Structure 1
Amino acid sequence: MKRNIDFPGGWIPDEEEACPARQEEDVSGMVRNGMELRRLNRNRIFRAVYESGRVSQQELAFRLGLSLPTIAQNLRILCEEGLLKEDGSFASTGGRPARGVSCIRDARLAVGLDVTRGHVSAVLTDLSGEIVRGIRRAVPFSDTEAYYRELGEIARKVIGETPPERLLGAGVSFPGILAAEGGIRSSHVLGLGARQEEDFTRFLPCRAMLCNDASAAGRAELWGREGENSAVYLSLSNSVGGAILLGGSLYEGENLRAAEFGHMTLVPDGLPCYCGKKGCLDAYCAAGILSNGYGGSLDAFFTALDRGEKAASSRWDAYLRSLAVAVNSLHMAFDCPVILGGYVGAYMVPYMERLRAMASALDTFGGDGSYLQPCLYRREASAVGAALLFIEPFMESI
């Protein structure tokens, strides 16, 4: 004879039909499966509320295919945990008005720090990735204890009065390559060789982790784009880098060196690159290619370009030709959106149609260049992406 017990998975044998040890193992597995199913349902409900802004129990039940009692029970737990809240009522359609529920987006917060050669950006973000508070401070990088202490002070400043129980952690982005065994392998921009993660994080007031700046920016860009889960992010800053995001996940490569687009060969035996090779994309599309001769200022360069100055126009034409070849190659390789970010990416919106036309002319399959997209974050993308190192796992754990 078999009996039904209240676990997903259905029927299990009675004691006389199975040995006690096997029965205990089966029941234990069903308990684990049941707990996991409840957690997954709770996570689905939370994410549905998070993505909707404000929604009713009835709409959640319809959308997720769950019973109203299951919805109500999980909403109660999520409200008790301080993640959701009741949020008014919807207009009546004939009966009792449906009550609304919404996400408390600042229930948890995370810090993102972006370390550059000339400044530090710090942001405090909520669960949606929105910046709650931000600081940008001109602190030239130096590999000294005084600098790392200053990094800690900047983090404390942006954290402010945030209660410790609401703070998830701090991500630190930097322009360089991570070591597979942990820490930093090198950073040409910062003039660093191998360093331990603790060198950067030891004075921070919360748990912390490092990430590459372009990878962080790419993560932030994809996070902010509804309906997209794959993209290539091309960072056009003091050096050229990027990120490959496939199926919503960052692809880092076997040696954590994926998306080093700046060192793709654009012109064999071409201009010298800082890496010692010749013809790298970095030698043609780093931000300094435009700002050198304009006081190191991209603002000054684009002002001259908009005024129609011949030297600026000639430099921009050459830059776009190189960039068009690069983005076409990326699109041929990955067949997904290519997002232009970094310092130059922040200026690209008025010039996108021209660049799309140039890339389209190179497209073997006759595309119109619409895969090319300007960045959403004109500033602090890397800092926001660094904060997401803690927000994403927390969202998955609910």
Structure 2
Amino acid sequence: MGPENSLTRAQIKRRNRSNIYRVILENPGISRQEIARALDLSLPTVLNNLTDLTEEGLVQKVGALGDTGGRKAYTYGIVPDARTAVGFDITRHHITAVLIDLNGEIMSRIRIRMDFQRTDEYMRRLGEIVGSLIAEAGVKKESVLGVGFGVPGLITEDNQKVFYGKILDFDDVTLGEFSRYISFDGALFNDADAAAYAEFHSHPDLENAFYVMLSNNVGGALIMNGQVWRGRNLCAAEIGHITLDPDGPRCYCGQKGCMDIYCAATVLDSGYDDSLEKFFGHLRQGEEKAVSIWNEYLDHLAKAINVLRLLLDCPIILGGYVGAYMNDYIEELRERAEKLYSFQSPASEVLCCQCRKEAIAAGAALRFITDYIAAI
């Protein structure tokens, strides 16, 4: 008995519904005839599902094809704001939050300067931000699927607790603390994992890759078969703590010479009012100090990339705050990486990120969106 014959009628019906929604999501403006051809389904099956999805407010008519001589052939698209999700990027001095729709598009965003503290005032502010995002986007509260928090720490498998949080000194902080004034479902995510998830959403054809987050701290995420792989002990891909110089300065983790010391964004902007925009402005003008800092930065980054290429031999995506500026310098970095590589192979798979703004916050929200779509 083949797999098709082993499915119950209810399972087949559910699969058809899910596939029809997905093909509309991926092909906005598609007609029912095109859906039927794409999925090898009968027109009545497609029409029945379209009727159900439309009545539920998930799908809508978005246009019509030319005169076909009979019944008008409508085209369909999803209702993007039928469901939404909120994501946070929590850092030492700032809170960034976004509300996204079913397409993963940002509908509203808020960024404020506020030092992280495990206080009632801080957690109350998070709740207020969620309310402001919903109001600004003009969506119904009932549309919100959940709230994700991207944080600089290692997270338990159930996404409920930080078990290593030296950067913000918040070991053992729980989802319950963050959600104290939030009435929606929630989850905690490592910041690099969240950013990688957002990047993967913009690269749907990318099956395997390593994401390097070059922000105020350096993180990493390994994407395998389209999923973030966290390892047996949930510590995988922590590229920020490979040793670049065993005699180097001590890292916050307790070891010496970690990549985080040499490749965090703060290495570049600390002498420029904590502004990467100012640093890169001076770099473009050829300022001697900025050029010297940048050359040393690229040398260290090339060493780390060489390790990744030797171990994984997969696309390496540079993201985070620095990754957003790398387009103009990627060839220079590739050349340095190629000189360190043991084999004759171009570093063309060292890439710049596509998701350059609010990647952590968007990625933390996207997990709720993708889970919902998978269950339709």
TM-score (norm 2): 0.93
| Aligned counterpart in structure 2 of residue 213 of structure 1, from 183, 191, 194 | 191
| Aligned counterpart in structure 1 of residue 150 of structure 2, from 156, 159, 173 | 173
- Counterpart of 1:107? 82
Runs of 5+ consecutive residues of structure 2 not aligned to the other structure: none
- Counterpart of 2:107? 132
- Aligned residues with identical type, % of pairs: 44
Q: Give the paired residue count.
A: 370
Distance 1:332 1:68 in 2: 51
Q: Any idea what SS the aligned residue of 1:354 has?
A: helix
Report Cα offsets for 1:282-301 as digits up to 9, x if no partner: 12111111122223222222
**Does the alignment pair 1:142 with 2:117?**
yes
**Does the alignment pair 1:281 with 2:259?**
yes
- Counterpart of 1:317? 295
The alignment's C-alpha RMSD in Å is: 1.8
| Aligned counterpart in structure 1 of residue 316 of structure 2, from 329, 338, 341 | 338
Q: Any idea what SS the aligned residue of 1:211 has?
A: strand
Larger CA deviation: 173-182 vs 260-269:
173-182
CA contact (8 A) 1:54 1:103 kept: no
Q: CA deviation at 1:65?
A: 1.5
Letter in 1 for 2:194: A
Q: Any idea what SS the aligned residue of 1:82 has?
A: coil
Q: CA deviation at 1:92?
A: 4.6
Q: CA deviation at 1:390?
A: 0.8
Distance 2:66 2:311 in 1: 51
Distance 2:182 2:344 in 1: 51
Distance 2:130 2:296 in 1: 41
Distance 2:278 2:166 in 1: 26
CA contact (8 A) 2:29 2:63 kept: no
Higher relative contact order (Cα pairs below 8 Å, separated by 6+ residues): 2
Q: CA deviation at 1:101?
A: 1.1
* Cα distance, 1:193–1:81 mapped onto 2, change above 3 Å: same
CA contact (8 A) 2:134 2:141 kept: no
Report Cα offsets for 1:104-163 as digits up to 9, x if no partner: 111101111111111111111001110001111111111111111111111111111532
- Counterpart of 2:278? 300
Distance 1:105 1:365 in 2: 47
Letter in 2 for 1:251: W
Distance 1:192 1:225 in 2: 33
Report Cα offsets for 1:275-315 as digits up to 9, x if no partner: 12112111211111112222322222212211111121111
Report Cα offsets for 1:29-62 as digits up to 9, x if no partner: x7x7221221111111111110011101111111
| Aligned counterpart in structure 2 of residue 61 of structure 1, from 25, 36, 43 | 36
Answer with 1 or 2: which has the greater Rg.
Answer: 1
Larger CA deviation: 132-141 vs 84-93:
84-93
Distance 1:84 1:333 in 2: 45
- Counterpart of 2:55? 80
- Counterpart of 1:201? 179
| Aligned counterpart in structure 2 of residue 270 of structure 1, from 238, 248, 261 | 248
* Cα distance, 1:363–1:64 mapped onto 2, change above 3 Å: farther
Distance 1:201 1:192 in 2: 15
| Aligned counterpart in structure 1 of residue 27 of structure 2, from 52, 68, 72 | 52
Distance 1:60 1:123 in 2: 33
Letter in 1 for 2:155: L
CA contact (8 A) 2:167 2:252 kept: no
Distance 1:70 1:370 in 2: 46
CA contact (8 A) 2:179 2:186 kept: yes
Query: Aligned ranges for residues 223-234 of structure 1 at < 5 Å?
Result: 223-234=201-212
- Counterpart of 1:162? 139
Segments of 4+ moved more than 6 angstroms: none
Distance 2:116 2:21 in 1: 41
**Does the alignment pair 1:252 with 2:230?**
yes
CA contact (8 A) 1:113 1:155 kept: no
